[in-house]
Chains A and B, each alone.
Chain A
Amino acid sequence: MDWVQLWEITTLPDNVPIVLLILVIPFYAWYGLRQAFANDRLIDSLEADPEMAKTHHRKTQPWKPGWAREIQVWPYLLRMEFLVAIIVTFILMVWSITLDAPLEEPANPSLTMNPAKAPWYFLGLQEMLVYFDPWMAGVVLPTLILVGLMVIPYMDSNPLGNGYYTYKQRKFAIWAFCFGFIVLWLSMVVIGTFIRGPGWIWFWPGQTWDHNKLIFEANRDLPDMFGITSMLGKSLFGAVVVGLFALVTALGVHKLFTWNAFNRKIYNRMSLIQYLLLQFFLVTMMLLPAKMVARLVFRIKYVWVTPWFNI
């Protein structure tokens, strides 16, 4: 184990934000879910007793009759904002005094950095380049991520859980979002930072980044494994395989989406366009883990080979 190198990567000034992210995301996930479970217990008790639901205070925050429901922004909110600004400034000051921003040698087009890495928040996209061609990983998928995020409010037909933390009432939405955000996006950032060494080769944490390491990986295309040689055959075969993948994934998504009676109720509220949008974005999202498994486990480069594009 090369602990020195692991320490060097971790303490690289530009990697400190990722270390912060690794600590902060689980904390806030726990912080939010803790409130979600508290609200779920309240919801359970209210649903068990309809009479109580009519009169009981519907928040987990304390409430007593006679308390004002609203408070003045000055001073109660403004003092909080002021305090937070001071704390953030303090953190930033300490961080800036103790850690210097990186500055390498002057830009030199004839001296390639190895590994040449994008800023850490784009490492997810750079890591996707392993699994997809640049037009997919660099252009189409980022666009779909943004559009997919933007249409979330229009696909989500579940009226519950608006303005309070809850898990019970929004299981599918929370799992889908956390899968996309934490499992796909953040873990790809972490892989790109800590795992990918020179030549963008996979080095386990603690494994020395060997600049001379070469991997003779025979990456294959799926059509070749089936002995298909003609371009027409490859194009058709790839279309069938991708189509089958989309079908199977869509069925899986449907199965999960209509898991219980409540989910089916929400499903029945959806318009056809909403449902098709949801399926399109979730199936596209699942392309990434599918391609990761195909590449990392089965060493398959392309599934669908055509004269114009490869997937």
Chain B
Amino acid sequence: MADDLKEQKPAGKGAALIDGVLKEVKNLKEKALDDVQSLKKPQKTQLFKSIFRVTHDEKPRNRALGILSNVFLHLHPAKINRDAVAYNYTWGMGGVTFYLFIVLTFTGVLLMFYYHPSKVQAFRDILYLEHDVPFGKLLRNMHRWAAHLMIITVWLHMFRVFLTGSYKKPREFNWMVGVILMLLTMLLSFTGYLLPDDQLGFWAVTVGTNMARATPLLGHEGPLGPELGMTAFNDVRFALLGGSIVDSNALLRAYIWHCIAIPLIAGIFMAVHFWRVRKDGGISGPAPVMLESEIKEPRRF
């Protein structure tokens, strides 16, 4: 009897438990099915909505919002002049320059993992990079050729902006910012030249910084420099090199200018440059041609 009771009691409880479990399983199954359904429509999920805010369908409104609500793309306007996307007007040189800057930042940060800016280590690090680091040679090559290419694209960008007269009103200021960015690009490349600490970089930088000796007023060999008390140990060249010869201090200074200071300064100028492209009315053309008879009289003060 006791055994029977013992068997029945659990059986009665067991059935209820099984029912409960089954119900729960059915419930879970429905939820799981819901989740599977949501996988088929990722754009409806909370995750997607929280990241992208707008659906990516072909409605003009959503295409515009896709640009405007994205931090990386929002420097673009939502719509542009239909002729401006043709390659023949802009040559794409400004964009390529910026892309090369990104490539250089990326490869440059990777190179920094393997490089010590000291006279003892620097040259050996380059050898290590070339012979032992996986893809190290490719990394260094890409950094160097991207730098050279960037100088060419900067010059071509300036050439295009001049030929299209894009520096004219209202973009005068942005042209000035662009000239400074060109200078910064060349300085970036120049400071990077010394870093391998080989003969090529050493003598290039020696030749380059020797000119600073001759700075008028501020160099010890420049006009009126000695009269102002300039010597090889306190003039502008000394400040650039951190010494009177190209040595370990010069290497460290070149490194810090190259990896930190100039990229930061260039980043600020780039932000202004891109911002002003938009604020000055976007890309300059291709604009409708103007005729000589349509020139307005200049304003007088």
Contacts and interface: CB of A to CB of B under 8 A. Distances in A.
Contacts of B293: 47, 50
A101 B287 contact: no
Interface in A44-99: 46-47, 50, 53, 57-61, 67-78, 80-81, 84-85, 88-89, 92-93, 95-97, 99
A166 B287 CA distance: 11
Contact of A68 (B82, B167, B172, B287): B82
Interface in B80-98: 80-89, 91-92, 95-96
A165 B79 CA distance: 23
B141 A139 contact: no
Interface in B35-80: 60, 63-64, 66-67, 73, 76-80
A181 B158 CA distance: 10
B176 interface: yes
A31 interface: yes
A11 to B, nearest CB: 14
The prevalent SS among residues of A at the interface is helix
Given A109-B245, A113-B203, A121 B103 contact: no
Q: Which 6 A-B pairs have the closest CB atoms?
A: A138-B211, A163-B287, A163-B285, A134-B214, A58-B288, A153-B172
Interface stretch (B13-21, B149-157, B258-266): B149-157
A116 B207 CA distance: 7
A216 interface: no
Contact of B193 (A59, A119, A133, A154): A119
Interface stretch (A169-177, A238-246, A277-285, A287-295): A169-177
Chain B's interface size range is 35 or more
A71 B82 contact: yes
Contacts, number: 293
A78 B176 contact: no
Interface string B155-172: 110111011111111011
Interface residues of A, number: 108
A119 B202 CA distance: 11
A24 B200 CA distance: 26
Given A77-B80, A163-B286, 5 more contacts: A72-B79, A80-B85, A92-B149, A121-B151, A162-B166
A201 B205 CA distance: 21
Interface string B134-154: 000110111111101101100
A135 to B, nearest CB: 4
Given A17-B148, A106-B197, A140-B216, A70 B82 contact: yes
Contacts of A73: 67, 73, 76-80
A159 interface: yes
B123 A106 contact: yes
Nearest to B119: A107
Interface stretch (A35-43, A206-214, A250-258): A35-43
B123 A107 contact: yes
Nearest to B174: A153
B179 interface: yes
Given A73-B76, A107-B199, A163 B160 contact: no
The prevalent SS among residues of B at the interface is helix
Contacts of A309: 216, 223
Contacts of A111: 199
A119 B204 contact: yes
A133 B219 CA distance: 13
Interface stretch (B1-9, B183-191, B268-276): B183-191
A126 B149 CA distance: 21
Contacts of B79: 70-73
Contacts of B84: 77
A210 to B, nearest CB: 20
19 contacts: A39-B289, A46-B289, A70-B82, A74-B66, A84-B95, A103-B127, A104-B199, A106-B199, A113-B200, A121-B186, A125-B211, A134-B210, A153-B169, A153-B175, A153-B176, A156-B167, A156-B168, A160-B292, A162-B166
